[in-house]
Structure 1
Amino acid sequence: MLIDLIKCHGSNNDFLLIDETEGNYKLDDFKRRDLALALCDRNTSLGADGILFIRNSKVADAQYRIFNSDGTEASMCGNGLRCAGRYVCEKLGRDEAIIETLKANLKVKKHEEIFIDIPTYQVEISPVSFKLEDLPLNLDQETLIQGKLPQLSEELTFTALAVPNPHLTAIVSKEQLESDLQEEISQKLNNPNDLFPDGVNVSFIRLLEKGSIYVNTFERGVGFTNACGTAMSASTLVTCLLNENEFEQPINVYNNGGMVQCSVHEKNGVYTIDLIGNATFLYSAQLEIEFDEEVMVGEILEQEDFNEDENYSLLQEHAKKYLNQF
């Protein structure tokens, strides 16, 4: 079987995009899982944080599903949604589209450039819930907002929320950020545990100055990642709730892969978040794939570069220079 794909990234959170509507691939969830395990392995194959599968939708312009590098399916990925949204918009010849995800139909639209010559898209992050049952988090209470979890840390204060992926966030100092604490907590919560039976994304937030934060994320099913779109969105919301940042204002969110902007909106107690950032295409390729007892990946038959990543590297340099001030 020949499969066409695009390698792309949002904040260097990188993906392989496969349009199932263009090829007679006849993929089921077992094959999607096996493809993710085979193609995302950075040691033996193309390497990526996950695969974005574009499919037809009866309720939106397109559906996208994302399978992580470990073969598990995520309900949403903000960085991946920007890339999928760009692909769908360009395919339809439009500046905006509605994308069906597992939990909601979300709006994606082309946005003014976040940096010079950077293809930029804005995506809606919702629904947002603080109910622990929606993560799930097993505590004898309804929410955890700036609360303690002594079984994880005596020094940190945590907020848990679903956007809709489950997230556990903490605002930390530079010393805490540079310690092993985040890895210890993340490994504990993403192995069999009593608190988060399905695992959780763990983000450490560092306040830089008004309107700017840094977010480092251990992503469930991936590990430490350059950036996680829903994590940056959730983290921005948390800082607004604590009056560290303002609602309805764009917040610069720096990450190990560069930077994005997030804006938090509240109406009648319901929160939505706009995530704005790059959707960079690296190359298109065609692979020979055989499904047997395991996925057999042949050589790349065709590859064409988009030549977009050089411009993104300038954004990265800008972000690093800014972070070095703190």
Structure 2
Amino acid sequence: MRIAFTKMHGLGNDFVVLDARAQPLPPLTGDVVAALADRHTGIGCDQLVLIEPSEVADWRMRIFNSDGSEVEACGNATRAVGLLIGGEVTLETLGGTIVARPDENGVAVDMGVPRFGWDQIPLAYGMDTLDLPVGWPLDSAACEAVLEHPVAVNVGNPHAVFFVNDAYAVPLAEIGPVIENDQIFPERVNVNVATVTARDAITLRVWERGAGITQACGTGACATAVAAMRRGLVDREVTVTLPGGALTIVWEPDVDGAPGHITMTGPASVSFTGSFDWGDYA
């Protein structure tokens, strides 16, 4: 059975997109996802995205990391799907329904409302999510000896945000998986290391849960911007620069004591299209 795919990326965070809106696909298992995502023997991607019919939105978007695990949200993938479908579109995800629409700077995505409760992240037990009293030692002498006191935010998926003097000095490839799999995070966590460079600018690197270091992470940019805003480090609109490029994040004012919505704006692109034989990967 030949299956068509579209290879896309948002600031270098790349996806294999499968469109099942018109015709259902065979069951998509974690093993199939991991095989397709393999950069040596598959198509290669950070995440695989499946577009399906939805009963609550225009379409349903399912997101799988390269290790085969299904995740709740992906901001860059949402921009990619928004570009692929065109126009304003509502998308059902495991993290809730979100809206993507065309913008002069690419695609703007309403990421919904951030969540800050310890049980909403989730954490293993109650603590102050604006300043988690935890830390992890670093081996590198070129940066802080301990990566500590992160902010925890859920923007459809869980994030821990660390503010450091130099985001590029942190040995993220080594410490990322340690923090991701710490027992304090029962559903694992995305690890963000950020440096605030101005009231409207942040430099960011992200270790993505189930995918590793990627060129960009849309939910990570949203989580980091909101964390910095909560700590009073930046204003309510900020440019977050990742290795793959920049995203604009706006956090609307609170409404009747409830957090406002987050809007993320940035580019997305089609890299190429093709097809594969499902039996080669199943």
Corresponding residue to 1:56 among 49, 53, 64: 53
CA radius of gyration, larger in: 1
**Any idea what the Cα deviations from partners look like across 1:67-126, whole Å, max 9, x if unmatched?**
11000001000000111112222xxxxx2111111131111100012xxxxxx1001112
Distance 1:112 1:124 in 2: 15
Structure 1 residues 167, 24: CA separation in 2 closer, same or farther (over 3 Å shift)?
A: closer
Give the structure with the larger helix fraction: 1
Determine if the alignment matches structure 1 residue 258 to structure 2 residue 245: yes
Structure 1 residues 288, 155: CA separation in 2 closer, same or farther (over 3 Å shift)?
A: closer
Distance 1:150 1:286 in 2: 46
Give the counterpart letter for 1:110 in structure 2.
P
Structure 2, unmatched stretches of 5+, are: 138-144
Q: Partner of 1:15 in structure 2?
A: 15
Where do residues 167-246 of structure 1 align in structure 2 (5 Å cutoff)?
A: 167-174=159-166, 177-180=168-171, 182-191=172-181, 193-246=182-235
Runs of 4+ more than 6 Å apart: none
Distance 1:36 1:288 in 2: 14
Say if 1:103 and 1:164, in contact at 8 Å, map to a contact too: yes
Determine if the alignment matches structure 1 residue 40 to structure 2 residue 25: no
Where do residues 85-124 of structure 1 align in structure 2 (5 Å cutoff)?
A: 85-89=82-86, 95-113=87-105, 120-124=106-110
Q: Partner of 1:287 in structure 2?
A: 276
Shift of 1:278: 0.8
Structure 1 residues 144, 281: CA separation in 2 closer, same or farther (over 3 Å shift)?
A: same
Distance 1:245 1:196 in 2: 27
Structure 1 residues 214, 98: CA separation in 2 closer, same or farther (over 3 Å shift)?
A: same
Structure 1, unmatched stretches of 5+, are: 90-94, 114-119, 297-326
| TM-score, with structure 2 as normaliser | 0.91
| TM-score, with structure 1 as normaliser | 0.79
**Any idea what the Cα deviations from partners look like across 1:202-259, whole Å, max 9, x if unmatched?**
0001112221111100000001111111010010111111222222x3x111001111
Determine if the alignment matches structure 1 residue 74 to structure 2 residue 71: yes
SS at structure 2 position matched to 1:43:
coil
Distance 2:44 2:147 in 1: 37
Shift of 1:150: 3.8
**RMSD of Structure 2 on Structure 1 (CA):** 1.8
Structure 1 residues 242, 140: CA separation in 2 closer, same or farther (over 3 Å shift)?
A: closer
**Any idea what the Cα deviations from partners look like across 1:10-40, whole Å, max 9, x if unmatched?**
1110000110123342x33xx2423311111
Identity fraction in percent: 27
Shift of 1:271: 3.3
Corresponding residue to 1:148 among 114, 117, 133: 133
The alignment of Structure 1 onto Structure 2 pairs a total of residues equal to 273
Give the counterpart letter for 2:170 in structure 1.
S
Structure 1 residues 155, 106: CA separation in 2 closer, same or farther (over 3 Å shift)?
A: closer
Say if 1:32 and 1:67, in contact at 8 Å, map to a contact too: no
Q: Partner of 1:139 in structure 2?
A: 125
Shift of 1:135: 2.2
Q: Partner of 1:163 in structure 2?
A: 155
Distance 1:254 1:83 in 2: 18
Distance 1:288 1:173 in 2: 48
Shift of 1:287: 1.4
Structure 1 residues 4, 177: CA separation in 2 closer, same or farther (over 3 Å shift)?
A: same
